[in-house]
């Protein structure tokens, strides 16, 4: 089957737009030649569009795909041919995305992800919206058929082609929740982007004032406040646009979601591929009793390293209930690190505060910028409070079928990991931890972000307790795997007996 013919002009225009900076430079240079500027600009635009259109036409002619009973077959490549057969049993997600222009044209991009992949396995740019929906539904149906054939009990009826599971809505984001999301999801990292305009504005602001010191005292706070406000508004707009119209539903053994204002995304999260569920609460959301929920799946998810938002923002009780819908777990009572871990944090933060105070004094003493440097010493005073808040939000819990780990104050994450999804359990001690008989246990899954950053962990717990936790998780991992193997073997024997009879 072919891609949509509309992918040719759309791809040509988007390619030309990505090369727009070259056109700008060439057009600007041509203005130095009287009378030639407009003609050169028109010729360049026409030439780039013609080349991009020719390439997109060749790409469209040489791109072919077919969905069979067992595989998704794709042939592609303009200069070098590539043939792929993607087993449907390895397909994890079939996601679609449409921006505003694509929605107006009635086309969509389809991405196919496989378990264990480090990138999307295939991308169809672009097919009609109806074809995108057909592919998603057909891949889901064929995967269910294969699963039922593999796991069917004796006497079970074979799945029919029209056997589409009923869809049950789990969560739909209200206007109030969307507005709250814009407030609580402020990302001040955008300040680094907007602060780039300060060197541009500073000289003109300094020249416009008769008294430079007065200018600095007045404009610096105004500029800083303006940058913070700009970052807050941009972050809020991004969150609202990204999760506008968010809806989560369940159909059989998969979750389905759709979201987005300008760019509209739809996709699936197979429950069989879920590695862990993560409840996230930043300080502001936690204060008003709200939380977000994400699920981590094995493999790659575009732009999110395997993590998909299941609930962008909801009352904490509702988010926990939905987490139990995805991964059933019992009541959680956390075990905190010993109080000597808190003492360690006090010393660490106090040393950082003292260093910053010394730097501030040095700037005050040996430069022309005189200011109240001693106010920085307040960081040393706040060290015990910061240490207590960090310690208070750490913890872990060992349940019958899951291990639960919690960390973070500004953005607290509670991660629920089923034992059978654990890949490795790592116990480690730094030099400073050994001095206080503390250790850290990292629980790694196929959906984790690596063994060094972003992993769920029990931080700064008793060294002896860390060894117990590592052994417990490892033992329960083996026990859960043996139980699952035994169930599969029993089902296999039942099928053989049924066939023999």
> Tokens 């406000």 identify what position?
229
Task: Kindly report, residue by residue over 98-157, the tens digit of the pLDDT.
Answer: 999 999 999 999 998 886 555 678 899 999 999 999 998 898 888 877 766 655 444 444
The pLDDT of residue 338: 96
pLDDT at 323: 94
Percent of the chain with pLDDT over 70: 78
Instruction: Please give the pLDDT value at position 240.
Output: 92
- pLDDT value, residue 116: 57
Residue bearing the bigger pLDDT, 49 or 333: 333
Query: What is the residue extent of each domain of the chain?
Result: 7-61, 175-243, 339-390
Q: Which residues contact 341 (CB under 8 A, 6 or more apart)?
A: 391, 394, 436, 438, 460, 461
- Looking at residue 269, what is its pLDDT? 82
Q: Is the pLDDT of residue 239 over 80?
A: yes
What is the band of 486 on the pLDDT scale with cuts at 50, 70, 90? confident
Q: Which has the minimum average pLDDT: 80-89, 228-237, 261-270, 317-326?
A: 228-237
Q: Which of 1-5, 51-55, 140-144, 426-430 has the lowest mean pLDDT?
A: 140-144
CA pair distance 262, 182, nearest whole angstrom? 16
> How far is the C-alpha of 206 from the C-alpha of 482, rounded, in Å?
72
Which pLDDT belongs to residue 137? 86
pLDDT above 50: residue 422: yes
**Residue of higher predicted confidence among 298 and 281:** 281
| Portion of the chain with pLDDT greater than 90, in percent | 51
DSSP state letter for 447: T
* E strand residue ranges, 231-318: 247-251, 254-259, 264-270, 274-282, 290-297, 307-315
Task: List, as one string, the DSSP characters of 73-131.
Answer: EEEE-SSS-EEEEEEGGGEEEEEEEE-HHHHHHTEEEEEEEETT-SS-SEEEEEEEHHH
- Residue 172 has what pLDDT? 94
- CA–CA gap between residue 56 and residue 41 (Å, rounded): 22
Report the alpha-carbon distance of residue 249 to residue 247 in Å, rounded: 7
Residues whose CB is less than 8 angstroms from the CB of residue 325 and which lie 6 or more positions away in sequence, other chains included? 170, 250
Q: How far apart are CA 416 and CA 402, in angstroms?
A: 7
Where residue 195 falls among pLDDT bands split at 50, 70, 90?
Answer: low
Query: What is the DSSP-derived secondary structure letter of residue 456?
Result: -
Mean pLDDT of the chain: 83
More confident residue, 447 or 433: 433
Reduced to 3 states (helix: H, G, I; strand: E, B; else coil), residue 143 is helix
pLDDT for residue 302: 39
Residue 497 has pLDDT above 90, yes or no: no
């Amino acid at each position: 089957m072919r891609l949509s013919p509309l992918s040719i002009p759309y791809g040509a225009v988007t390619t030309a737009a990505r090369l727009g900076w070259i056109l700008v430079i060439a057009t600007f240079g041509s203005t130095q030649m009287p009378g030639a500027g407009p003609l050169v600009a028109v010729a360049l635009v026409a030439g780039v569009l013609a080349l991009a259109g020719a390439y997109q036409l060749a790409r469209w002619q040489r791109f072919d795909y077919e969905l069979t009973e067992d595989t998704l077959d794709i042939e592609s490549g303009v200069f070098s041919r590539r043939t792929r057969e993607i087993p449907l049993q390895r397909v994890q997600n079939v996601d679609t995305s449409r921006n505003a222009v694509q929605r107006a044209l009635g086309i969509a991009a389809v991405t196919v992800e496989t378990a264990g992949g480090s990138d999307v396995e295939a991308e169809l740019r672009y097919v009609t919206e109806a074809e995108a929906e057909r592919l998603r539904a057909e891949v889901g149906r064929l995967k269910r058929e294969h699963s039922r054939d593999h796991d069917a009990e004796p006497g079970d009826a074979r799945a029919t082609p029209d056997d589409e599971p009923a869809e049950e809505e789990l969560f739909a984001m209200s206007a109030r929740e969307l507005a709250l999301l814009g407030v609580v999801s402020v990302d001040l990292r955008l300040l680094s982007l907007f602060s780039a305009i300060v060197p541009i504005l500073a000289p003109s602001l300094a020249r416009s004032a008769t008294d430079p010191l007065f200018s600095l005292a007045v404009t610096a706070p105004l500029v800083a406040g303006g940058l913070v406000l700009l970052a807050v508004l941009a972050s809020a707009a991004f969150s609202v646009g990204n999760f506008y119209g968010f809806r989560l539903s369940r159909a059989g053994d998969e979750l389905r979601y759709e979201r987005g204002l300008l760019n509209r995304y739809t996709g699936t999260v197979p429950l069989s591929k879920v590695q862990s569920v993560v409840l996230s609460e930043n300080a502001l959301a936690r204060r008003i009793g709200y939380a977000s929920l994400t699920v981590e799946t094995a493999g790659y998810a575009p732009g999110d390293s395997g993590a998909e938002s299941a609930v962008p923002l909801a009352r904490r009780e509702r988010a926990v209930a939905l987490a139990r819908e995805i991964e059933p777990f019992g009541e959680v009572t956390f075990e905190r690190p010993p109080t000597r871990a808190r003492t360690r944090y006090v010393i660490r933060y106090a040393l950082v505060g003292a260093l910053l105070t010394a730097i501030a004094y040095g700037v005050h003493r040996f430069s022309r910028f005189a200011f109240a440097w001693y106010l920085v010493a307040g960081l040393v005073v706040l060290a015990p409070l910061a240490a207590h808040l960090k310690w208070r939000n750490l913890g872990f819990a060992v349940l019958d079928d899951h291990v639960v780990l919690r960390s973070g104050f500004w953005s607290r994450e509670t991660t629920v990991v089923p034992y059978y999804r654990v890949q490795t359990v790592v116990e480690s001690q730094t030099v400073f931890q050994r001095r206080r008989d503390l250790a850290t246990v990292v629980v790694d899954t196929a959906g984790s972000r690596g063994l060094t950053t972003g992993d769920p962990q029990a931080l700064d717990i008793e060294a002896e307790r860390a060894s117990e936790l590592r052994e417990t998780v490892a033992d329960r991992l083996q026990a859960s795997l043996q139980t699952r193997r035994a169930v599969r073997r029993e089902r296999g024997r039942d099928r053989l007996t049924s066939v023999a009879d």
